[in-house]
Amino acid sequence: MAVDAAPSGEAPAGRLAGRWVPWLVIGLWLALAAVMVPLSGKLSSVTTDSAVDTLPAGSESTKVAVLEDSLPGGEDNTFVFVYHRAGGMTDADRATVERHHDTLTKRYPPGVTAAGGEDEGPATRPSTDGKAMMFTLQVSTTYGAPEAVVGPLRDAARERPAGLELEVTGPAAVDGDMDAIFDGIDLQVFLTTVVVVTLLLILTYRSPVLWFIPLVVVGAAALTAMATVYLLVKGFGVVVNDQNSALLTILVFGVGTDYALLLIARYREALHHHENVRVAMVHALRGAAPAIVASAATVVAGLLCLLAADLNSTSGLGPIGAAGILCALVAMLTLFPAVLVVLGRRIFWPAVPRFSTAVAEKPGLWGRLGTAISRRRWVATLGSLGVLGVLAIGLAGNTGALREQEQFLSAPESVTGFTVLRQHFPELGGQPMTIFTRPAYQERVLDVVKGTSGVAMAIPEETSGGWANISVFPTDAPDTVAEYDTIKRVRTAVHAVSGAEAIVGGPSAENLDTEVTTSRDEKVVIPLVLAVVLIVLGLLLRAIVAPLVLMATVVVSFAAAFGGSVFVFDTILGFKGVDYSVPLLAFMFLVALGVDYNIFLASRAREETVRLGTREGMLKALSATGGVITSAGLVLAATFAVLATLPLVLLIEVGFLVAFGVLLDALLVRSVLVPALTLVIGRRIWWPSRLSRPAAEPPNRQQSLADDEGLALQR
């Protein structure tokens, strides 16, 4: 194939190919790094996992949490100490419990209150079966966060008679064990991701040097993104929790590496056609940048749709993720090309691309795959849809929501403690609800609550700040349907007390409100994401049919990935359900990120169609992009799979589902289904653009067009 000689290619490159441009870009990035790197280290200082910052913005339980934080004593953390012996509590056991109780009340004033309240009996409470004792401890937040307190509490009660078991549980202990998992998670995710991406880049390029350049530039983008998010928190009050901070790292490394792979592939092609490396890079950018920008725009627009979510942690992910994607985009289209140009062709050693006036095209694996698809386009289409359909059957499995106690891969003491508590104190087996009401109505609200089905006991607490507090213990286990029904009945009952202004919250009520709000957010955000992605695809491809086809394939791919993942979660991993936040997060990432590969393929196909026609254009695009998109898919899947190494079911489910979905998109949907559908539909895929008209086909294709389409119909 003939190529442009260097002189004819240099003129159109213009000033962008000047010798000073790469050095200027690198200098600007060094100046930016001097400002942003110190700020990136401050992101952890503004990361929060407080209930108010993660709960639904307008929910009833959020209002209770806000009141608890604002009232005196409302910032206390509740721990429950459950002692038990299989053969029954001995006198020594009971004396040990009393001693621990007295020691802890002195160490953490104001101290403990009995589960039945100060007027309901002694501070320590024996079980009716004589095999257990328990007490609750209210620890002020001035002593530290739950994860900082729960360890010393367990250590303080370590000395006890042989055979006497103890579990420190309660809402604060669960929070402490959960926070312990996230402790240092940013560094763990960062280092693991770097190792994974490094290995994949080395395997991809088989070069002792080339892998290092995209890794360094993506690292610079990640640090810039962290600094940008820190500024967003300070300037606009964006909420960042540990989960979103970890996802930010995954997004930047995964997407940034994808962009690097695509640009390097175009750059390598251009180096065969242009002797001057700067000119080659300009042409590579002209070829790759539109698809990369469209891809980034799709992901950013989709992430910003999360701002419509009512759940604070979900809506906060929108600007956080968008900032990360934009930083990756800017770095990979400015700093990365500049570094590659400065280092020259030798960066590709030992497989250095040589300039030649005639580059022989080899069909390769992807060229042969395209030819096979062209010959059996209907078989490829129906076969691909069949595989996706079989995987989607997994959606009939257990998609119920996980309970909070089932979030841990290995149940910590706080979770096993709830089981023991429920076994020996069935009347206290649920997590307590907190009701705030106006003091004048406390007795009326109390009577109404006591008469509500599913309530074991209701205890009046202190009055302060114009509000009276009531603690309510449900009879059912935490985060079960029965307990949620009790919470709903209690809310209905107290809301009926006119003038009381009663609101119901507490840990289980927070989980209920979060689940309900997430369901609402799915109904709002998912259609928004689909509409935004469709618009971006329409603008990029300047067509209607092609974007609709691509969107349909991505949605089917998501259903297949979700179904296949549910089967793995339920049958192989033994999870008790799917975390309520997983479907929306997975849909967001798989639609916004999964459509990337279709964008890269379809944009190249449109570019080639102008010269070669629809059939040859798609085959040429598949041959040219097959290897790089597959590599990009493997990298992105591997980066999300890093989440599956963490001991929390939510992150395992998100990591596995997104990784599996990305692989489906890259290896089946983009490689087989989209090319097959394009060949089946023919030039009409570009309707209503001019490429859909017979006159737009190259002269050598117009004559055989009818025969080709007729043959396709026969097949």
Q: What DSSP assignment string belongs to 128-187?
A: TTSSEEEEEEEE-GGG--HHHHHHHHHHHT----TT-EEEEESHHHHHHHHHHHHTTHHH
| Burial profile 133-163: b = 16 or more Cβ within 10 angstroms, e = fewer | bbbbbbbeeeeeebbebbeebbeebeebeee
User: Which range (187-191, 500-504, 566-570) has the least confidence?
Assistant: 187-191
* pLDDT 10s digits, 63-86: 988 888 777 655 678 889 999 999
pLDDT of residue 598: 82
User: Which range (177-181, 497-501, 616-620) has the least confidence?
Assistant: 177-181
Distance CA 592, CA 325 (A): 11
Other beta carbons within 10 angstroms of residue 567's beta carbon come to 17
Helix (H) or strand (E) run with residue 434 in it:
strand 433-437
CB neighbour list of residue 600: distance below 8 Å, 6 or more residues apart = 262, 291, 295, 625, 629, 632
pLDDT of residue 631: 82
| Torsion over CA: 203, 204, 208, 210 (sign) | negative
1-64+184-360 belongs to CATH 1.20.1640.10: yes
Distance CA 173, CA 207 (A): 50
Helix (H) or strand (E) run with residue 462 in it:
strand 455-464
Q: How many helices (H) and strands (E) does the chain have?
A: 25, 8
As given in the structure block, the two tokens for residue 577 are 């359900």
- Phi, psi angles (nearest 5°) of residue 482: -65, -40
Which residue carries 């076994």 as its tokens? Answer: 423
- Model confidence at 708, pLDDT cuts 50, 70, 90, reads very low
CA neighbours within 13 Å on the CB side: how many for 511?
A: 24
User: Which range (87-96, 362-371, 633-642) has the least confidence?
Assistant: 362-371
**Superfamily, domain 366-411+522-715:** Multidrug efflux transporter AcrB transmembrane domain (1.20.1640.10)
pLDDT of residue 707: 42
User: Which CATH number does 432-505 carry?
Assistant: 3.30.70.120
As given in the structure block, the two tokens for residue 302 are 């989709």
Distance CA 472, CA 482 (A): 15
Q: Closest by alpha carbon to 266, among 358, 333, 325, 199?
A: 333
User: Cis (ω within 30 of 0) for the bond into 412?
Assistant: no
> SS3 for 300?
helix
Which residue carries 């370590």 as its tokens? Answer: 158
pLDDT of residue 46: 83
Q: In sequence order, what E strands does 6-99 have? A: 77-84
pLDDT at 693 over 70: yes
Fold of 76-182: Alpha-Beta Plaits (3.30.70)
What length is written for the chain? Answer: 715
* pLDDT 10s digits, 251-310: 898 889 889 888 988 888 888 888 888 888 888 898 888 888 988 988 898 899 999 988
pLDDT at 705 over 50: no
Distance of CA 648 to the CA centre of its chain: 13
Decide which of 485 and 240 is more confident: 485
User: Which range (69-78, 568-577, 702-711) has the least confidence?
Assistant: 702-711
Other beta carbons within 10 angstroms of residue 403's beta carbon come to 18
CA neighbours within 13 Å on the CB side: how many for 499?
A: 6
115-119: list long-range contacts, CB under 8 Å, 24+ apart.
115/425, 115/428, 115/473, 116/457, 116/459, 117/459, 117/460, 117/461, 117/471
Given a contact cutoff of 8 angstroms between Cβ atoms, the answer to whether 166 and 82 are in contact is yes
Other beta carbons within 10 angstroms of residue 40's beta carbon come to 18
Decide which of 210 and 24 is more confident: 24
Which residue carries 């960042």 as its tokens? Answer: 240
pLDDT of residue 173: 87
How high is the mean pLDDT of the chain?
A: 83
pLDDT at 595 over 60: yes
Given a contact cutoff of 8 angstroms between Cβ atoms, the answer to whether 124 and 134 are in contact is yes
pLDDT at 363 over 70: no
The percent of residues above 90 in pLDDT, for the chain, comes to: 29
> How deeply is 203 buried, as exposed, middle or buried, from its count of CB atoms within 10 A (0-12, 13-18, 19+)?
exposed
Other beta carbons within 10 angstroms of residue 445's beta carbon come to 25
> SS3 for 702?
helix
| Burial profile 337-355: b = 16 or more Cβ within 10 angstroms, e = fewer | bbbbbeeebebbeeeebeb
Helix (H) or strand (E) run with residue 463 in it:
strand 455-464
pLDDT at 230 over 90: yes
Q: Taking the domains of the chain in order of start, what are their residue ranges?
A: 1-64+184-360, 76-182, 366-411+522-715, 432-505
Decide which of 506 and 69 is more confident: 506
DSSP string for residues in 195-224: HHHHHHHHHHH--TTTTHHHHHHHHHHHHH
> Same fold for the domain at 76-182 and the one at 432-505?
yes
pLDDT of residue 235: 87
